[in-house]
């Protein structure tokens, strides 16, 4: 039986070229891939992966395959799949179940097909695959050694599953590696969110009031890049320390109900629900643009937007114009889904190099430690995090200092003071 479902296999050669292009910027993954090819640490291990089907994911999947894994992929978002990459991966012998623009029913059908691979390892981005496995396919759990989770929202969901006593196998929170969130979430989401919005709208950032909801790692990155392009950045937050940090980083901070009245563009990146709600939509300026870069399309209350609208039309690809009953027009990008993946290509390969190096090394770690890891959400082992940083620096030909014996002694002693 065919274990893949893609849009069009004739796109494979374009996909192959783009995968190759991304690989130039993934030197750490290259080093791991070469070692995996020799050592085969994942020999015969069945993996089900639910990830954005992009050129960078392709390079990770090929690395895991090189390590001996039998991997089947599905998409972690209905709008992020690059159909040419999916076609190329199938040609490389990696079954992919993902079609850009698929409806929710097909999205879950594809997750189920990926699970039909009877995974021993799961690789998830947002925890939809793990949630399906725990609720609808629990019969498969006995064979699962462990899993990894790529993003903040997925880690939040898994920790909540663990707290509820429902988690059935160990999972490593790849998102929480320093070599992941400090770079991927900040510089990756920062640059690619601006890229997605620019591609969708041809928006001039200079002089615009850009409202960023959520000053987490992604919010930091988007704010920094918008500021660099000349925008007046306004941050909304619920955590006092992060709000204070935003103030001292030079941004205006105010509640969303106040920001709603002045913003030209709104970017949600909180991992929360209805951050832009009906009351906020009701006071926005005519022409305001709404975009989301958080994992799920629930950050902007789209049903409320629809209920306020008199009419709706697509005015450009990925730009929906809602004309409200009072004649104001609001523009929703990419149906409120991750704008950086839906309207651009997601994070640049150079940053995914580190995130996916963590993925590959954590999967290897899970196999090496099979049976001995406690059933909980684990942090990335510090040694893996450091190794990724070392390899990345090495690939950039950057050397750093090492502690002298005297410094080591000083830093671990208490005797010496004023």
Residues in touch with ligand NAD (CB under 6 A): 151-153, 181, 185, 189, 213-219, 236-239, 242, 269-272, 275, 293-295, 338, 340-341, 346
Q: Are strands 309-316 and 319-324 parallel, antiparallel or unpaired?
A: antiparallel
Cβ closer to ligand NAD: 247 or 373?
A: 247
Closest approach of Cβ 374 to ligand NAD, in Å? 24
Strand order in the sheet with 46-51: 96-97, 70-75, 46-51, 121-124, 146-149, 171-173, 377-378
Token pair for 45? 């291990």
Which CA distances in Å does 174 have to 82, 165, 306, 355? 23, 21, 36, 7
> Among the residues of 292-381, which ranges form H helices?
302-308, 339-342, 349-368
* Min CB(181)–ligand NAD separation in Å: 6
Least distance in angstroms from the C-beta of 276 to ligand NAD:
9
Q: How far is the CB of 29 from ligand NAD (least distance, A)?
A: 18
Task: State the nearest-atom distance from the C-beta of 194 to ligand NAD, in Å.
Answer: 12
CB of 266 to ligand NAD, least distance (A): 11
Closer to ligand NAD at the Cβ: 89 or 218?
218
314-to-21, 77, 126, 332, 335 alpha-carbon distances in Å: 32, 21, 28, 10, 10
Our CB check for ligand NAD shows the closer of 108 and 296 to be: 296
Residue whose CB is nearest to ligand NAD in the complex, by number:
216
- List 237's β-bridge partners, or say none: none
Helices vs strands, H then E, count in the chain: 18, 15
CB of residue 303 to ligand NAD, shortest distance in Å: 17
- To ligand NAD, the closest distance from the beta carbon of 177 in angstroms equals 12
> Strand 319-324's sheet: what is its strand order?
252-253, 232-236, 209-213, 265-268, 289-292, 329-333, 319-324, 309-316
User: What are 385's two structure tokens?
Assistant: 């995090």
Query: From CA 196, how far away is CA 39, in angstroms rounded?
Result: 39
Beta carbon nearer to ligand NAD, 12 or 213: 213
* Nearer CB in complex with ligand NAD: 67/147: 147
Q: Which is nearer to ligand NAD, 65 or 180 (CB)?
A: 180
Interatomic CA distance for residues 349 and 250, integer angstroms: 30
Q: Of 185 and 301, which CB lies nearer to ligand NAD in the complex structure?
A: 185
> Which C-beta is closer to ligand NAD: that of 239 or that of 386?
239
């Amino acid at each position: 039986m065919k274990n893949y479902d893609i849009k069009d296999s004739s796109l494979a050669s374009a996909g192959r070229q783009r995968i190759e292009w991304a690989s130039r910027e993934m030197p750490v993954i290259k080093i791991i891939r070469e070692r995996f090819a020799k050592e085969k640490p994942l020999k015969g291990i069945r993996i089900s992966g639910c990830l954005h089907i992009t050129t960078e994911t392709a390079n990770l999947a090929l690395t895991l395959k090189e390590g001996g894994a039998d991997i089947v992929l599905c998409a972690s978002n209905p709008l992020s799949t690059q159909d040419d990459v999916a076609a190329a991966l199938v040609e490389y012998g990696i079954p992919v179940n993902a079609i850009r623009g698929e409806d929710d029913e097909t999205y879950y059908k594809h997750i189920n097909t990926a699970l039909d691979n009877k995974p021993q390892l799961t690789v998830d981005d947002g925890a939809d695959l793990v949630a399906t496995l725990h609720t609808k396919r629990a019969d498969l759990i006995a064979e699962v050694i462990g899993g990894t989770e790529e993003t903040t929202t997925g880690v939040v969901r898994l920790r909540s599953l663990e707290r509820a006593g429902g988690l059935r196998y160990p999972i490593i929170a790849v998102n929480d590696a320093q070599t992941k969130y400090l770079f991927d979430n900040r510089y990756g989401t920062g640059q690619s969110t601006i890229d997605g919005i620019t591609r969708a709208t041809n928006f001039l950032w200079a002089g615009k009031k850009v409202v960023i909801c959520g000053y987490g790692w992604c919010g930091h990155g988007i704010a920094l890049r918008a500021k660099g392009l000349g925008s007046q950045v306004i941050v909304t937050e619920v955590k006092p320390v992060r709000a204070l940090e935003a103030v001292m980083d030079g941004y205006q901070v105010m509640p969303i109900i106040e920001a709603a009245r002045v913003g030209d563009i709104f970017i949600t990146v909180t991992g929360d629900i209805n951050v832009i709600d009906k009351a906020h939509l009701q006071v926005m300026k005519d022409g305001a643009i709404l975009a989301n870069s958080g994992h799920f399309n629930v950050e902007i209350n789209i049903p409320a937007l629809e209920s306020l609208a008199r009419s709706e039309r697509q005015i450009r690809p990925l730009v929906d114009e809602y004309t409200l009953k009072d004649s104001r027009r609001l523009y929703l990008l990419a149906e409120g889904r991750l704008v950086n993946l839906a309207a651009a290509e997601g994070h640049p390969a150079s940053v995914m190099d580190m995130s996916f190096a963590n993925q590959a090394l954590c999967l290897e770690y899970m196999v090496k430690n099979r049976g001995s890891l406690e059933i909980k959400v684990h942090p990335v082992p510090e040694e893996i995090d450091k190794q990724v940083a070392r390899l990345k620096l090495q690939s950039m030909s950057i050397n750093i200092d090492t502690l002298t014996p005297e410094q080591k002694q000083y830093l671990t002693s208490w005797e010496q003071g004023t």
